[in-house]
Amino acid sequence: MAEPSFQSPPPPTDFARISFPNPHTLLVTLSRPTSLNCINSAGNQELHAVWSWLDAEASLRVGIVTGEGRAFCAGADLKEWNESQKPGATPRQSLPPSGFGGLSRRRGRKPVIAAVNGLAHGGGCEMIINCDIVLASSNAIFALPEAKRGVVALAGALPRLTRIVGRMRAMEMALTGRNIPAREARDWGLCNAVCAKGESVVDMAVKWAEDICANSPDSIVVSKEGIELGWEGISAEEGSQRLVDGMFNRMVGGENMKEGVRAFVEKRRPRWVGSKL
C-alpha cells in the first residue's frame, strides 16, 4: 500500500520500521531482532518522536506497535547500559517524557494497540502496561524480571500494574520476575485477547484498529481522555466534570458530531474528518 499523504513526514527511525496498513493506522515494528528488540537510549528518543507525530497528524487515528522476530521487546539495552558505566564512557541519554519506548508514561491523544508477538520483558512489558489495548500471540510471554538483574521497573509500570491486575498479582510479577504466558495474562486482565495458534497478532490488531477508525475521531480522542482521567485515580465525578469542561466542550458542535448525527438520521455511513482536538 502506498504511503498516505501527511501534513508532515514521519520522523526518521533507525531502530523501528514505520508502515501504514490502512490510511488511518500507523504500524510501528521494533526492528532489532538479533537483540530481541531491546531499546537503546537513541531508540527511546525515536519512539517518543513517532508517537508525538501520531498525535499531531490529523489523518491518523490509531497506532499499533509490534516486534520483528520472536520478541516484542526484551526491555532496555543492558549492553549499552553496562558500557555507559565504564570510566570515561559517554553517559546515556535520559528517557523522554513519555518514558520507555515512548509509551510507558505516555498520555497521548490517540490510542495505541500493542500487538505482542513474543517476549515482552522488562521495559517491553512496561510499554504494554500503558498501551490502550493489548493483543497477544499464543506464544507471547510477559515478565518484569528486573529484580533478577538487580534493578527495578521504574518506567511507570508498577503503580499502573497494581491497578490492572491487583496488588497480589502485581507483587508476584515484580518480586518473582516469573514469566506470565499469554492466556494467563488474559485471565489476569493484562491483555484483551489472545490469537489462536498460527494466527497473526498484527492482523488481529489491524482489524481492531479498523473498528476504531470507523468511529468519530473526535469521539475516540475524548473517550480516551475520559478513561485516562479515571486511570489516574481521581473520583468518577471529578473526572466526568473535567471531561465535560475540557475536551468535550471543544468537541460539541464540531464537524464530526454534526456529521455523526446527520449520518444516523439519513441512514448512511458517516464521512469523518481528522480530529482537530
Catalytic residue set: 76, 123, 126, 146
Joined grid coordinates for residue 254? 464540531
Query: Distance between CA atoms of 43 and 257, rounded to whole angstroms?
Result: 38
Residue 20: Cβ-neighbour burial (10 angstroms; 0-12, 13-18, 19+)? middle
CB within 8 A of 204, min separation 6: which ones?
Answer: 115, 135, 193, 195
**Locus of grid cell 493506522:** 25
CA 109 to chain centre: 11
User: Most distant CA pair in the chain: distance in Å?
Assistant: 71
Taking alpha carbons only, the member of 227, 65, 73 closest to residue 142 is 73
User: Burial letters for 162-174: b for 16+ Cβ neighbours within 10 Å, e otherwise?
Assistant: eebbeeebbebbb
Cα atoms in the 13 Å half-sphere on the side-chain side of 72: 33
